[in-house]
A = this chain, B = another copy of it.
Amino acid sequence: MSLRYGILGLLNYGSMTGYDISKYFRESVGYFWNAQQSQIYRELTALEKDGLVEYELVIQSDKPNKKLYRINEVGRENLNGWLYDFNIDDFFITRNALLLKLFFSSQIPVNRTIEMLSKYKERCEAAARELALHTGDLSDYQNLVEDDSESLYWKMTAARGLADYQASARWAGECINILRKRGEQDD
């Protein structure tokens, strides 16, 4: 159900095409929610059938025609309901493919796991640098409190992404150290 509300949430900022939504998902929500383009078109069709959004067909000559979707009153109420209600358990449903692999990695050579963790660490550091450009940390309270509210919420999520990447990189580094010592021992 989250995808549906992610789309509604974006449409609540302004009218968009499926293409736009797909782009926003990648660019702004991407580090905490992935959505396939085919999934978005499918969900838009469903949203329209359920009467939460409407669209206007925009004829273009230089570019392909497009459907400009906008949220309606019913959709807005639905979105608010979803924002208001929460079930804490939902927030703890996780799937971490790296941890699953690592959990069973005693079966393969240590060096291979070190290689995997090193690449993971690099990517985390790169992602952290990237995110840090767009957000600071949350310690500059004064500034944050005076921010307009949309960007405040945006910064909170970005700060979480940043903290995640940093913690991941640190953790990966520790694992690499341990595995290296283990490797030496085995020599």
**Total count of chain A residues near the partner, CB < 8 A:** 70
CB distance from A155 to the nearest CB of B (A): 9
Q: Are A157 and B29 in contact, CB atoms less than 8 angstroms apart?
A: no
- Asked whether A61 is an interface residue with its Cβ less than 8 Å from the other chain, the reply is no
Residue ID in chain B nearest A9 by CB atoms = B104
A131 within 8 A of B: no
**Do residues A175 and B156 form an inter-chain contact, with CB atoms below 8 A?**
yes
Closest chain B residue to A117 by CB distance? B156
A57, CB-defined interface residue at 8 Å: no
Interface residues of A in 88-107 (CB under 8 A from B): 88, 90-107
Which of chain B's residues have a CB closer than 8 A to the CB of A101? Answer: 5, 82-83, 86
A20 CB to nearest chain B CB (Å): 16
Not counting A32-B100, A91-B96, a sample of 12 additional A-B residue pairs whose C-beta atoms are within 8 angstroms of each other reads A29-B100, A31-B92, A32-B96, A33-B94, A33-B99, A34-B95, A88-B123, A106-B149, A156-B175, A159-B174, A164-B164, A167-B167
In the assembled complex, 12 residue pairs joining A and B whose CB atoms fall closer than 8 Å, in A order, are A9-B100, A9-B103, A32-B103, A91-B120, A103-B153, A106-B150, A106-B153, A145-B182, A160-B168, A163-B167, A163-B171, A164-B167
